[in-house]
A and B are shown apart, each in its own frame.
Chain A
Amino acid sequence: MLPFLRDQYGNASSPYSFGTKAKYAVEHARRQIATSIGARPTEIIFTSGGSEANSWIFHGITEICRNQPIHIITSAIEHHSILNACRALRQKNVTTTYLPVNSVGLISIEDLETAITPHTKLVSIMLANNEIGTIQPVAEIGHILRKKGILFHTDAVQAVGHISTDTLALNVDFLTASAHKFNGPKGTGILYKRSGIILPPMIWGGKQEHDERAGTENVAGIVAAGYALEENTAKMEANAHCQRRMREIIIDYLVAKIPNAQLNGDPRNSLPGLISLSIPNVSGEALLHVLDMKGIVISTGAACNSKITEVSHVLKAIGLPEILAKGTVRISFGRNNVEQDSLIIAKEIISYCQKVNPACFDPKKMKREVAAHMTHNHGSTVQGHSSIARFEQGGFYACKNGDGYHCEKVDREKNIVSFSADASVHRHIFDCILRSNAETEYTCNESEEDLTFEQLPNTIKANNLF
């Protein structure tokens, strides 16, 4: 970057040699980016960041289709640049469907296909979520949408440079990325736009970026972005291996010491260096500040704003109870972290939890506390019984006597939900479900180990029950 800030500060759009050197550097960076994501250089446009690139796509689609009804589909866990764009476009009569996600943050392909209408112009699903790390089945989604002729965008800001991101393999028409997420500088973004797609400009001015995005190029930022992505791509496997190892160390350590801690995201398919961890009855924000004083930087899933604690929309969307959402922290490892860092972080988190909430180390006691909290906050109370919020593997569920039971297994095909309690308490659980979902009828088949719920036909499906 430094040469382009000190000596080679020519304008990349100027015709003299001082400018053409800058121009060559920008085009070299364009080739580096294109190679890294399986695109052609002509398909890469530089912006000021991922947010601008995201906004441009939504703005552009609205312009192209302005004389038609416009429907957009996205997910409930997108970045705010997507969600706020959708909200803003309501003023232009653009309707949006926000696809729900399951407890690990995955959208359902069936939900997507159901949501498609004759007016659907764009689907936008992020490749990897920034808070919980879940990776969506973008290639599969893209394949479906390509057949239907619907434009498909993926916000790959969190993914590019960390996991394989090939635009052809992903079947996307648009892809957005941001340099500072792959060790490049802040203020440089990338929009991939498949050849042949025309997107009206959002910024008017000169003919920079092939007359598609006006504004004097941020040469230093673009050059650095090209090298950063090329380097990260070359070392991707090695970096991912190290980050997965650090992730395993911290998870093994924390889960062993804090049995009531919960991991968020899809354990089978997540960003290698990201951990979202929820600890009940511990303030994630307080933990953030204490670790900050010890030189450890993490982020949280909830933030205090005056008297209200705002829980992130992502954690709400995955159905995380507030008691866990408030105690959620996100730890992201980078390529410069080492295994020792994992141990230090784990040790400091455990030390803090031991001080402020020793109960989180006692599984029995914490189950009752979590259950009592869920009793108070989740679902309706009917005739003195507590409702059950949702059956998801690894969750805690409240029953009428205030005890919590750990849901160990959910088999959706067979409609079997197994609790870590003996058959004598199964009736309690069944009674709770029956009473709290008065419009739904179930039969219950009990065995020593399993409680099976079979929904009777033509009944209203319980909200979030399965």
Chain B
Amino acid sequence: MTNRINCYICGKESLTRNEIGLNKKLIGQNVKKIHCLCCLAEYLEVTEEELLAKVEEFKEQGCKLF
């Protein structure tokens, strides 16, 4: 499911539910500046693979953001 939110850094359009969920889980529920997966990885100084692994982890835990 996509959403009409663009990446605050690179402008990538229609970020995915998972991308938005990652921003909320890793920056805060009230995050205003949403990053795409690539920019979020750079922002947090982690890899995209690590972020994707976190998505799976959150899904396993039943998090409704994903």
In the assembled complex, B44 has its CB within 8 A of some CB on chain A? yes
Interfacial chain B residues near A352, Cβ < 8 Å: 44
The answer for the CA separation of A290 and B51 in the assembled complex, in Å, is 9
Query: Could you tell me the distance in whole angstroms from the C-beta of B44 to the nearest C-beta in chain A?
Result: 6
B44 touches A355 (CB 8 A): yes
Query: Could you tell me the distance in whole angstroms from the C-beta of A366 to the nearest C-beta in chain B?
Result: 16
Interfacial chain A residues near B26, Cβ < 8 Å: 286, 289-290
Encoded as 1 (CB less than 8 Å from any B CB) or 0, chain A from 257 to 295 comes to: 000000000000000000000000011011001100110
A290 touches B28 (CB 8 A): no
Query: Could you tell me the distance in whole angstroms from the C-beta of A54 to the nearest C-beta in chain B?
Result: 27
A289-B25 CB under 8 A given contacts A294-B46, A351-B45: yes
A289 touches B29 (CB 8 A): no
B28 touches A293 (CB 8 A): no
Query: Could you tell me the distance in whole angstroms from the C-beta of A315 to the nearest C-beta in chain B?
Result: 18
In the assembled complex, A306 has its CB within 8 A of some CB on chain B? yes
B54 touches A286 (CB 8 A): no
In the assembled complex, A65 has its CB within 8 A of some CB on chain B? no
Interfacial chain B residues near A306, Cβ < 8 Å: 64
Among candidates B28, B43, B45, residue contacting A286 with C-beta atoms closer than 8 Å? B28
Interfacial chain A residues near B60, Cβ < 8 Å: none
Interfacial chain A residues near B25, Cβ < 8 Å: 285-286, 289, 304
Interfacial chain B residues near A294, Cβ < 8 Å: 45-46
In the assembled complex, A238 has its CB within 8 A of some CB on chain B? no
Among candidates B27, B43, B45, B63, residue contacting A283 with C-beta atoms closer than 8 Å? B27
The answer for the CA separation of A251 and B26 in the assembled complex, in Å, is 24
Query: Could you tell me the distance in whole angstroms from the C-beta of A323 to the nearest C-beta in chain B?
Result: 12
> Which residues, 288 to 331 on A, are CB-close (under 8 Å) to B?
289-290, 293-294, 304, 306-307, 309
A286-B25, A304-B25 are known; give 13 further A-B pairs, CB within 8 A.
Answer: A282-B28, A283-B27, A283-B28, A286-B26, A286-B27, A289-B25, A290-B26, A290-B46, A293-B44, A294-B46, A304-B29, A355-B43, A355-B44
Among candidates A293, A307, A309, A356, residue contacting B27 with C-beta atoms closer than 8 Å? A356
By size class, the interface of chain B is 10 to 19
The answer for the CA separation of A122 and B50 in the assembled complex, in Å, is 49
By size class, the interface of chain A is 10 to 19
Among candidates A285, A290, A304, residue contacting B44 with C-beta atoms closer than 8 Å? A290
Encoded as 1 (CB less than 8 Å from any B CB) or 0, chain A from 351 to 373 comes to: 11001100000000000000000
Query: Could you tell me the distance in whole angstroms from the C-beta of A325 to the nearest C-beta in chain B?
Result: 14
- Residue of A290, A293, A306, A307 with most partner-chain B CB within 10 A: A293
CB pairs A–B below 8 angstroms (9 shown): A282-B28, A283-B28, A286-B27, A289-B26, A289-B54, A293-B51, A351-B45, A356-B27, A356-B28
> Which residues, 78 to 120 on A, are CB-close (under 8 Å) to B?
none
Residue of B nearest to A289 (CB): B26
Interfacial chain B residues near A307, Cβ < 8 Å: 64
Interfacial chain B residues near A293, Cβ < 8 Å: 44, 46, 50-51, 54
Interfacial chain B residues near A282, Cβ < 8 Å: 28
> Which residues, 21 to 35 on B, are CB-close (under 8 Å) to A?
25-29
5 nearest interchain CB pairs? A283-B28, A293-B50, A293-B46, A286-B26, A356-B27
Residue of A nearest to B33 (CB): A356
Encoded as 1 (CB less than 8 Å from any A CB) or 0, chain B from 36 to 51 comes to: 0000000111100011
- Residue of B25, B28, B45, B51 with most partner-chain A CB within 10 A: B28
Query: Could you tell me the distance in whole angstroms from the C-beta of B56 to the nearest C-beta in chain A?
Result: 13
Query: Could you tell me the distance in whole angstroms from the C-beta of A301 to the nearest C-beta in chain B?
Result: 15
Interfacial chain A residues near B43, Cβ < 8 Å: 355
The answer for the CA separation of A372 and B11 in the assembled complex, in Å, is 33
Query: Could you tell me the distance in whole angstroms from the C-beta of B5 to the nearest C-beta in chain A?
Result: 18
A283 touches B46 (CB 8 A): no
The answer for the CA separation of A351 and B44 in the assembled complex, in Å, is 9
